[in-house]
Chains A and B, each alone.
Chain A
Amino acid sequence: MKKEDKYSLAKWAIEHALKNGAQQASVSISDSRSSSIEVREQKIDKLEQAIQNNLTIRLFVDNKYSAHSTNRLKQQELARFIEEAIAGTRFLSEDEFRTLPDPELYYKGGGPELNVFDSRIDTIDPQKKIDLAFGVENEVFGKDERLISVTASYYDGMNGRVMVNSNGFEGDTASSYYGLYATVSVKGGDARPEAYWNENAIFFDRLKTEGIGAKALDRALKKFGQKKIASARMTMIVENVSAGRLLSPLIAALNGSAIQQKNSFLIDQLGQQVASEKLTLTDDPFIPGGRASRLFDGEGLASKKMAVFEKGVLKTYYIDTYYGKKLNMAPTTGGTSNLILETGDKNLEQLIASLDRGILVTGFNGGNSNGSTGDFSFGIDGFLIEKGQIVQPVSEMNITGNLKDLWMNLAETGNDFREDSSWRIPSLVFNQVDFSGI
């Protein structure tokens, strides 16, 4: 669907909603295309192609609120869809806090070029995609007798979106992605350890195509001989690819909805020291080529670079228009863009080398955390480290504690974040973590 067509349909939908009783409305229309090729045992295992369209309308009717989406975009059907949605909304209770954002806060154009869309997306030769997937498989297929399965995939796609708000916002976004992925299983004894690796890029030319299969195989082989070890309180190094798992419940606790609904362990903590001085985290929407770069957020609010934590002090919550009104706070934005965690000077090898005894966590296996108290317990995958050396892969271990204590015990940050991720988090070192084993 062309951008102009999306704009005209969105404006028509807004008009139709206003004509039928809504005082305000917001419409967003998106389309996405994707393709993926999965190869296994030197054959194409799966070819998938997809094109999808969606229209979402948010309605503000006599102080009542609802949101509706559909993939049936014919105007005649949409007219009825919107009329029925408005009729249904009238049966809800009033909510004085529901309005569109203050137009003063909208993005009004003139932002920098973010470089998040590759116009080549529709021109990549399908055979080239297949060759890339086989390239990943061929790095390992038949190269190690312990290998029992390798599946490699190539995937790409684009998303285009237009958003129109009835009180004066119009904006559109387009983004693209390319990726290669390998998952490898190896056998030794009864266990069949599995590992994966992937690379992503916004631009086809920047997609890393080598080393993916090899890295997945290497990671799987390293898991051979996993053993249970004794419970202990130890230092933990979390590898960069997994560190986001520990940051996400911290970010969730900053959400306006969690704060207002008393489901956060960081209520009333703005300006307080809630983590160690090693934690400096910035939300930066303007990184050129950043996976989550944006000029405006999901409501149309103009993007701003924000300090989230500065040397462990909490600097901001994530507040959208609705919870801003409920909390009587100024809106910031409803969700994260790119998150940049300030790096230290060691890479992962150096962090390991400087550890006397502890666990290197390379993956998480389930677990959860309690939003209101910050208590957590996660299953982990990883290695025992002694005297600066990896000595043993471990199995069936949990880490358990409280997120505030954990982040207060952040001892060091590495220098090794991955640029292809929207959360640029290096490997992290935490002291005094409770591990449960035998």
Chain B
Amino acid sequence: MELNRRNFLKTGSVAVAGSVFLPPLLQSCQNVPISEQMKFFLDHFEVTPQMLQKVIAAAMSKGGDYADLFFEHTTSGNLGLEDGKVNRAFSNIDYGVGIRVLKGDQTGFAYSEEVSLESMLNAAKLAANIADSKNSFSPPVTAEKVPANYYPIARKWEAVSVKDKVPFVQKINDKIFALDEKVIKVNAFMGDSTSYILFYNSEGRLSYDYRPMAHFGALCIMQRGQQIENAYAARSFRKGYEWLTDELVDELAREAVDRTNILFDATKPKAGEMPVVMGAGGSGILLHEAIGHTFEADFNRKGTSIFSDKMGKKVAENFINIIDDGTLENNRGSINIDDEGNEVQKTYLVKDGILNSYIHDRISANYYQVAPTGNGRRESFRNVPIPRMRATYMETGPHTRDDIFAAVEYGVYVDNFTNGQVQIGAGDFTFFVKSGYLIEKGKLTRPIKDINIIGNGPQALADITMAANDYLIDNGTWTCGKDGQSVPVTCGLPTVLVKKLTVGGTNA
């Protein structure tokens, strides 16, 4: 086992297609008022409110302050195209329940892949061990919490045959080859997943979520003379099968070809500090790395973040508002409830340039005595929830794109990224630029490629001196990693000017 505690963000496709499994329906006992929807989820996991109460009582038996149960059933499927044919498919089923017990800010956690009462009670007893006192826990009154619906869909992936997905994957290949004769290879990928979530805690909150997710894209490999270059385009949403259209195929194919084409004449800039103009959209990686992770309250609670003592202080220009939002319709980073059963919100991290809120899970919200922000997320039932971002973006600023370019004598413009990373305590963050342009005397000149940019979070945030009126969310396949757990997120930004960052390059 490798413990990976790096915090990173990457684009790129995550393995996800589906064989459908539906357990036999059970009749839920009803001594509490339960909606039809909730009854469906209880039946899905073959549990009753009485069983849930028994498991919670076992979890609380050693004197825990709080316990929760997180049931998950995820089916996912992937299709792949290589050498001109959709010639591979992958699917996965994951099923189980995670049981967590809190004592103050201490956590006991165990999970079971079987959802029988006996297996759950065993896991609950293991998790209970975090506490060590006798306790008489009286089961709470069960109260159903109806979740929001931020990702309405028309056609569920579970009901879609491989047969109906294959043509889109084939089309993107054919389209890319048709667009440019330099294309020598295409790798196309399409994946979807569906998660059923059921949640119950020691406060009696009973809730559920139905989480669809899909991604689609292609890697384009081109050759010009001896030079080979590649780039890809991909999108991801919490949408249903209706999302796959010929228009989407065309858009992605065009983008993959364009992104590859500019690499042939791209060079590396001269190494050093310079102004960096970040294009609208995927440049939101700057927010994710430079400040997003360092605003996660687990780091701040432990005092290990460079922003640990900056709450309420001015951290950026007045026109800067930075948001972490779990409510954007059909967005990859949205969730109807967080993985601790809490409502999800649009959270202002920075308001009018002032640090306004951290990103909280239950433990940290309790520590800071604030309301939960709906950021308690986990990769699956196998993991404990921790503070995680959702869609992180900056609102529109007062400048225009032209104003911003005009302000740069010599620098770089970047708008296509593959990955980023941050050191929470030092604040040093990086992001890797797949392609961009040099800016000379206010004009975009030569293309650049394959360079890492590094900066320091608080400094970079203070150094955002201009922001344009063209805010855009990037709907790529962003996946955020922290403590070995991956979760889907998105990011966004208007065009901004960062006064200076250190740009990788040559010293020749």
- A: which residues have CB within 8 A of B? 34, 40, 43-53, 64-72, 77, 80-81, 84-85, 88-89, 91-95, 98, 148-149, 151, 153, 155, 157, 177, 179, 181, 183, 185, 187, 190-194, 196, 198, 223, 226, 228, 231-233, 261-263, 326, 365-373, 375-379, 381, 395-401, 434-438
Contacts and interface: CB of A to CB of B under 8 A. Distances in A.
A157 B3 CA distance: 13
A366 B93 CA distance: 32
Contacts of A228: 273, 502
B87 A95 contact: yes
A398 B221 contact: no
A47 B108 contact: yes
Contact of A48 (B110, B184, B503): B110
A83 B76 CA distance: 17
B268 A191 contact: no
Q: Which of A51, A77, A396, A435 has the most CB of B within 10 A?
A: A396
A410 B489 CA distance: 39
B134 interface: no
Contacts of B455: 396
Interface string B463-478: 0000000000000000
A45 B107 contact: yes
Interface in B428-453: 428-432, 449-453
B85 A368 contact: no
Contacts of A368: 418-419, 432, 450, 452
Given A45-B106, A400-B452, A194 B92 contact: no
Contact of A50 (B303, B308, B382): B382
Contacts of B507: 231-233, 434-436
A92 to B, nearest CB: 6
Nearest to A153: B3
19 contacts: A45-B106, A46-B109, A51-B113, A65-B89, A69-B92, A70-B93, A81-B19, A92-B89, A93-B85, A148-B302, A185-B304, A187-B303, A191-B427, A368-B418, A372-B228, A375-B268, A378-B452, A396-B428, A397-B502
B420 A48 contact: no
B303 A71 contact: no
Nearest to B450: A375
Nearest to A77: B21
Q: Which of B96, B106, B384, B423 has the most CB of A within 10 A?
A: B423
Closest 3 CB pairs of A and B: A436-B271, A366-B430, A366-B421
Summarize A's interface: helix, strand, loop or mixed.
strand
Contacts of B92: 68-70
A399 B504 contact: yes
Given A45-B105, A66-B90, A373-B228, 13 more contacts: A53-B113, A84-B20, A98-B87, A151-B302, A261-B221, A366-B421, A366-B430, A379-B430, A396-B428, A396-B454, A398-B271, A398-B504, A438-B502
A50 B111 contact: yes
Nearest to A433: B507
Q: Which of B1, B86, B95, B419 has the most CB of A within 10 A?
A: B1
Interface stretch (B40-48, B161-169, B343-351): B161-169
A183 B5 contact: yes
A381 B428 CA distance: 10
Nearest to B166: A91
Summarize B's interface: helix, strand, loop or mixed.
strand
Contacts of A395: 426, 428, 456
B185 interface: yes
A398 B502 contact: yes
Nearest to A228: B502
A85 B304 CA distance: 48
A395 B384 CA distance: 33
B306 A81 contact: no
B221 A377 contact: no
B452 A194 contact: no
B271 A366 contact: no
Chain B interface residue count: which class? 35 or more
A376 B434 CA distance: 11
Interface of B: 1, 3, 5, 8, 19-21, 79, 82-83, 85-96, 105-113, 123, 126-127, 129-130, 161-163, 166, 184-185, 187, 221, 223, 227-230, 268, 271-273, 289, 302-306, 308, 382, 384, 418-432, 449-456, 458, 502-508
Contacts of A70: 92-94
A102 B500 CA distance: 58
A192 B110 contact: no
Contacts of A64: 87
B184 A95 contact: no
A232 B418 CA distance: 26
A325 to B, nearest CB: 12
A371 B184 CA distance: 15
Nearest to B111: A50
A52 B113 contact: yes
Contact of A92 (B162, B185, B423): B162
Contact of A65 (B88, B95, B161, B421): B88
B452 A379 contact: yes
A191 B89 contact: no
B87 A93 contact: yes
Nearest to A148: B303
B507 to A, nearest CB: 5
Q: Which of B89, B424, B455 has the most CB of A within 10 A?
A: B89
A34 B106 CA distance: 19
A263 B223 CA distance: 11
Given A190-B306, A400-B268, A438-B272, A85 B91 contact: yes
A370 B421 CA distance: 18
A161 B91 CA distance: 20
A377 B449 CA distance: 10
Contact of B423 (A34, A51, A148, A365): A365
B21 A72 contact: yes
Given A45-B107, A149-B303, A371-B230, A92 B90 contact: no
A379 B228 contact: no
A423 to B, nearest CB: 12
Nearest to B108: A47
Contacts of A198: 3
A228 B502 CA distance: 10
A198 B166 CA distance: 46
Contacts of B106: 43-46
A151 B3 CA distance: 13
Given A192-B425, A437-B272, A438-B502, A48 B85 contact: no
B272 A436 contact: yes
B94 A194 contact: no
Contacts of A326: 83
A193 B426 CA distance: 5
Contacts of B420: 366
A99 to B, nearest CB: 13
Contacts of B5: 183, 196
Given A51-B113, A53-B113, A148-B304, A400 B502 contact: no
Contacts of A92: 79, 85-89, 162, 166
A366 B431 contact: yes
A72 B3 contact: no
Given A149-B302, A149-B304, A194-B426, A396 B502 contact: yes
